């Protein structure tokens, strides 16, 4: 296997040993380098019962590494004695599930509830029983512990508990003693296991003497603490690969500063970092334009000079007009627009819905059991069409259980794997669900027709009258009007963070992370997350700055920043790497307002 395709920076990372970090700029071939590093190490691997643990933040990232290993003819990696999977699955498989009962006080092996493939909502004996808790909209799965053992809201969103967490603290302890844990709980209990029983950490280090963590900027405090405990137990070979500027999952408890601290050399157990500063994705013009939103001292090195990014003005009342203009811009500059080559990226679903021309905040599902089941069935169809079969089967199972009134308590959730016959029956039902590309109204009509016979295959009796309850609302209230437009919207558009408009992909920045497009429009609003004034001048908030950096660096050759009507050049000083000809300076905008009767330049700007 030749290493001729590696750059000098990449080869240095592949051949390096010890405890170190790799800061990789967007498009630097991070996944390629991780796969090369694993292939390089496994070529001379001798141990029969000790292996390398290759970990990442998401299943999607793990699959990218797996595909790269297959391309390198190293497809055996991941089989015993090695491990390839998410950091959570590694912690659960080797620490929490086998040893969690030793710190939880439960009688046997614990179980995890609330995994994506097995949706769960606490009810029955786990209800709050307090009006204040009910008014706050809290659920048991919203809470876990921090490193100090204090009850906290999961994720990074601030929350002031009106009762001081006393009720949820009691319930969480009872929950653990019964052998249950949410994914956040599992990480906490795993930390307690490794701290209380150092021999477990030492045994894990003997089992996996080398660890490689991809997307390390998205690790939580609990996950990083577990890695630190393994280092303390003697782990000598560990590599953390990531980019703090691309950490956009703080709402899922990501702490990019933990990675930065190790990369800075402030921790004696870690060597100084390596860097990958050459982007194989972005042009130099795009690298330069994105630089103000990065913490790097200088811009990454691009593949070519490229076309200078541009700023466009758009009408916030008609954001969908961006799409045809974008298609024309792509064709003019030699890019054939398609869902795989061109994308419009937004920060939140409000603007996404306006571009998709979907009513804002549509909730078409009835609150009764039939409405809950319909939503689960629709989401199962969306996941099936996206190729996520495991999650779609779990959602279908939950929908059938809801209809059979078998999900009143947490009982039954302990079984995290379906038996073969059950899986076959659910697969048959899943194949018959209507396509999520259908408009919601038509999708519901088709569901009501096919579902009684399909549900019988899975052992659930649903009469034709009961099937009529599997319907969305006939209308929803939008402002002072009742609207029915959502019934003509593709079912998948009511769930996902992405959809196709004409020939262009339209999606959120989070949905686009890890992707590459030839051409990208980043659409900004005037208020809320990723607003023009929050990003265009001064020092943006870290989370918004990182989101903008991720969005801009998805583009290979063409980049457009779209700002709403009323924006002036003084509002976009941080976009100095873009052509701002379309954005007027304040003086010119003031003269224009004078000629039009003194109308405020902020008139008509989107909220």
Is-contact 112 103, C-beta < 8 A?
A: no
**How many CB atoms are located within 10 Å of the residue 394 CB?**
23
CA 518 from chain centre, in angstroms, equals: 22
Virtual torsion, Cα 290, 291, 296, 302, nearest 10 deg: 70
Q: How far is CA 448 from CA 246, 429, 452, 454, in A?
A: 44, 13, 8, 10
Which token pair is 130?
């307090």
- 149 is annotated as contributing to ligand binding: no
List, as one string, the DSSP characters of 477-528.
EETTEEE-GGGGSBGGGGT-SEEEETTEEEEEHHHHTT--EEEEEEE-BSSS
- 477 is annotated as contributing to ligand binding: no
- 25 is annotated as contributing to ligand binding: yes
Is-contact 524 530, C-beta < 8 A?
A: yes
Q: How far is CA 155 from CA 275, 377, 380, 528, in A?
A: 29, 28, 26, 20
Cβ within 8 Å of residue 423, ≥6 positions away: 393
CA 482 from chain centre, in angstroms, equals: 33
- The answer to whether the Cα torsion of 122, 124, 126, 127 is positive or negative is positive
- 28 is annotated as contributing to ligand binding: yes
Measured CA to CA, the distance from residue 80 to residue 108 in angstroms comes to: 26
Strands 180-181 and 151-153: unpaired
Query: Cis before residue 81, ω within 30 degrees of 0?
Result: yes
Measured CA to CA, the distance from residue 293 to residue 372 in angstroms comes to: 42
- 584 is annotated as contributing to ligand binding: no
Find residue 312's DSSP bridge partners: 562
- 31 is annotated as contributing to ligand binding: yes
Cβ within 8 Å of residue 199, ≥6 positions away: none
Measured CA to CA, the distance from residue 566 to residue 601 in angstroms comes to: 5
**How many CB atoms are located within 10 Å of the residue 27 CB?**
22
**Which runs of consecutive H residues, i.e. helices, occur in 521-603?**
532-536, 542-552, 586-595
List, as one string, the DSSP characters of 296-353.
SSSPPB-SS--PPPEEEEE-TT-GGGHHHHHHHHHHHTT----TTTEEEEESSHHHHH
The CA-based diameter of the chain, rounded to the nearest angstrom, is 81
Q: Residue 9: which of 305, 306, 301 has the closest Cα?
A: 301
Is-contact 262 21, C-beta < 8 A?
A: yes
Which token pair is 206?
């003997």
Is-contact 431 396, C-beta < 8 A?
A: no
Find residue 558's DSSP bridge partners: 519
- The answer to whether the Cα torsion of 447, 452, 456, 462 is positive or negative is positive
Strands 504-508 and 498-501: antiparallel
Strands 555-564 and 517-523: parallel
| Lookup result for tokens 């016959």 | 421
- 26 is annotated as contributing to ligand binding: yes
- 30 is annotated as contributing to ligand binding: yes
Question: Would you list which residues are annotated within the binding site?
Answer: 24-31
Question: Would you list which residues are annotated within the binding site for ATP?
Answer: 24-31
């Amino acid at each position: 296997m030749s290493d001729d395709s590696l750059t000098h920076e990449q080869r240095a990372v592949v051949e390096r040993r010890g405890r170190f970090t790799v800061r990789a700029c967007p498009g630097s071939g991070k996944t390629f380098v991780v796969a090369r590093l694993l292939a390089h190490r496994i070529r001379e691997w001798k141990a029969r019962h000790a292996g390398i643990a290759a970990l990442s933040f998401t299943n999607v990232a793990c699959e990218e590494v797996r595909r790269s290993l297959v391309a390198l003819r190293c497809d055996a990696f991941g089989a015993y004695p090695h491990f390839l999977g998410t950091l959570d699955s590694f912690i659960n498989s080797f620490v929490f599930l086998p040893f969690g009962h030793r710190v939880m006080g439960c009688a046997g092996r614990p179980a995890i509830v609330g995994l994506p493939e097995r949706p769960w909502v606490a009810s029955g004996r786990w209800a709050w029983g307090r009006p204040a808790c009910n008014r706050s909209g809290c659920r048991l799965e919203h809470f876990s512990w921090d490193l100090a053992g204090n009850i906290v809201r999961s994720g990074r969103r601030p929350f002031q508990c009106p009762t001081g967490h006393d009720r949820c603290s009691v319930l969480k302890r009872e929950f653990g003693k019964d052998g249950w844990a949410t994914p956040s709980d599992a990480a906490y209990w795993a930390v307690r296991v490794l701290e209380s029983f150092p021999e477990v950490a030492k045994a894990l280090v003997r089992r996996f003497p080398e660890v490689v963590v991809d997307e390390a900027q998205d690790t939580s405090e609990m996950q990083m603490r577990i890695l630190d405990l393994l280092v303390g137990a003697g782990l000598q070979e560990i590599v953390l690969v990531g980019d703090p500027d691309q950490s956009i999952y703080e709402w899922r408890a990501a702490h990019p500063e933990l990675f930065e601290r190790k990369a800075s050399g402030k921790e004696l157990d870690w060597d100084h970092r390596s860097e990958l500063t050459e982007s194989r994705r972005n042009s130099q013009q795009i690298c330069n334009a994105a630089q103000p939103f990065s913490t790097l001292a200088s811009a990454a090195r691009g593949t070519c000079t490229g076309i200078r990014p541009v700023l466009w003005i758009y009408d916030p009342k008609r954001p969908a007009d961006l799409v045809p203009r974008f298609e024309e811009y792509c064709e003019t500059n030699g890019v054939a627009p398609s869902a795989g080559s061109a994308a419009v990226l937004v920060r939140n679903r409000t603007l996404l819905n306006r571009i998709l021309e979907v009513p804002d905040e549509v909730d078409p599902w009835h609150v009764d059991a039939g409405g809950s089941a319909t939503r689960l069935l629709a989401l199962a169809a969306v996941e099936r069409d996206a190729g996520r079969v495991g999650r779609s089967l779990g959602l279908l199972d939950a929908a059938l259980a809801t209809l059979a009134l078998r999900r009143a308590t947490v009982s039954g959730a302990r079984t995290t794997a379906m038996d073969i016959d059950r899986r076959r029956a659910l697969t048959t039902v899943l194949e018959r669900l209507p396509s999520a590309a259908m408009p919601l109204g038509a999708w519901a009509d088709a569901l009501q027709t096919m579902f009684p016979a399909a549900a019988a295959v899975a052992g659930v009796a649903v009469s034709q009258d009961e099937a009529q309850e599997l319907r969305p609302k006939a209308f929803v209230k939008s402002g002072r009007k009742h609207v029915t437009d959502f019934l003509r919207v593709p079912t998948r558009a009511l769930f996902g963070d992405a959809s196709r408009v004409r020939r262009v992909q339209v999606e959120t920045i989070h949905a686009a992370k890890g992707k590459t497009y030839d051409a990208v429009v980043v659409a900004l609003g005037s208020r809320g997350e990723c607003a023009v004034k929050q990003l265009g001048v001064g020092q943006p908030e870290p989370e918004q700055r990182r989101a903008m950096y991720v969005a801009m660096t998805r583009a290979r050759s063409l980049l457009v920043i779209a700002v709403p009507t009323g924006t002036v050049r003084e509002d976009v000083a941080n976009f100095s790497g873009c052509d701002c000809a379309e954005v007027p300076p304040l003086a010119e905008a003031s003269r224009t307002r004078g000629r039009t009767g003194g109308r405020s330049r902020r008139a008509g700007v989107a909220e």
